[in-house]
Amino acid sequence: MNTSEAISATAVAGLADRRLDWRHKAIPATANGTTHAEFVAAKHSLADLQTPLLTLDAAALQANADRLAAWCKEHGVLLAPHGKTTMSPQLWTEQLNRGAWGITLANFAQLRVAREFGVRNLQLANSLTDPHAIQWVADQPAGTKILSWVDSVGTVDVINNTLAGSDAVLDVLVELGAHGGRTGARGVEAAMELARVISDSTHLRLVGVSGYEGSLAHTADDAGLAAVRGYLAQMRLLHEQLLAAGLYGSSQVIITAGGSAYFDDVVTVLSPCISTGTETGGPAVDLMIRSGAYIIHDDGFYRGISPFSRDGDQPFTAGMHGWARVVSQTEPGLAILDAGKRDLPFDEGLPEPQFIGPVLGGAMEPLVGAEITSVNDQHSFMTYDASTTTVRPGDVIRLGLSHPCTAFDKWSVIPVLANSGPATDQTVVDLIHTFF
């Protein structure tokens, strides 16, 4: 790998040599044994695939990636996309090529995937408490930067004990939590006490402040936004107190928050902290958001809560769709589809019937008034108005989906269509590999 590369282009390109077979449920039996490159070169269309199916939309992915990259540049903030959304080095490459600082991940297994593909700058949005993971991070070669979070003195103790007798030093951010939230020191005072312990450690260097506002709210109403903004104000206060106390151990500090739901509020509240260091004589300070779902977006949770949806200013576009066939239609107004929990996300809203047609890849018409009411492991229950809509076994339904994070983990290979609209170019232009 070229040490100047943000990710190994050679490793990512090598995915095109992988052979496709029965292990990849998105690949038709007729293509068994072909390589990724051969499959794409054959210019297969949606009609060549089978249901149940998840597809991506190339035009939407590119537009979404461009949109947030431009927004971050305009606002002077760094982006370290949360790679656990897709666990796809190909999509990480698209984000890194557009200027992302690095990739954020959630656990040790995900870090190993990223390093296998040569990602140089990584952030673990979690605490290192597994001795195997701690030692692995400490043993990474020069040129690799891995930031992790610390939210308790107990975590400091585990790291110190694991690295005792070595000269290893790990870069960490003190994580601020909130009552009712997930991880993170509970309050500024507790975080300051933790920062002092980190400062005294010979194996840790405090390089910033981290937090996650998304666990405190699930809506964009006044109450939800107030909770998010109040928490972010506490993050800013913590940073200011750390500066005043001289507890940072680096000349370059990072403040990081921001998923795909409230990144605009993160920038509004925390961007005053950005500094070159010349103004204060202290460290330079960057603000980093970690939005991950934005590149895929959806037709559910993020469609409703994304800042660009809320302000109506060039919203993201849903870049994933499900496709399912009717396998049973034995009651008026009820159809059973061949896609279920094993195929499509359901934790942030059930799939949304959008179009219907007699064959996959053929002409489709809007499916008005239909609803997925429940899902089993391998089936979905779709109700519809039998007086106005005819549904037959074998009909194909295109589904809007909610929550890309729990869509990608169900597929090891995902076909990418030039455009997944019902009457547009449905050529398979790529295959996305995932590593969950």
CATH number, domain containing residue 383? 2.40.37.20
Residue 345 is part of which domain span?
A: 9-57+316-433
Asked, for residue 129, whether it belongs to a domain, the answer is yes
Does 119 map to a domain?
A: yes
Which DSSP string do the residues of 250-288 spell out, in sequence order? SSEEEEE---SSSHHHHHHHHGGG-B-STTTTS-EEEEE
Residue 311 has a pLDDT of 79
Q: Check residue 3 and give its pLDDT.
A: 59
Does residue 149 register a pLDDT over 80? yes
- 373-420 pLDDT, tens digit each: 999 999 999 999 999 999 999 999 999 999 999 999 999 999 999 987
Residues 100, 48, single domain; the answer is: no
105 and 191, same domain (yes or no)? yes
The pTM of this model reads: 0.95
- Asked whether residue 125 falls in the same domain as residue 164, the answer is yes
Amino acid at 269: V
CB-based contacts of 103, cutoff 8 Å, min separation 6: 80, 81, 83, 92, 95, 96, 114, 119, 121, 122, 123
Rg (CA), the chain: 23
How many alpha carbons lie under 13 Å from residue 294 in its C-beta half-sphere? 35
* Domain containing residue 240: CATH number: 3.20.20.10
pLDDT in tens, 29-44: 999 999 999 999 999 9
> Tell me: the pLDDT tens digits for 193-252?
999 999 999 999 999 999 999 888 889 899 999 999 999 999 999 999 999 999 999 999
Average pLDDT over residues 169-192: 93
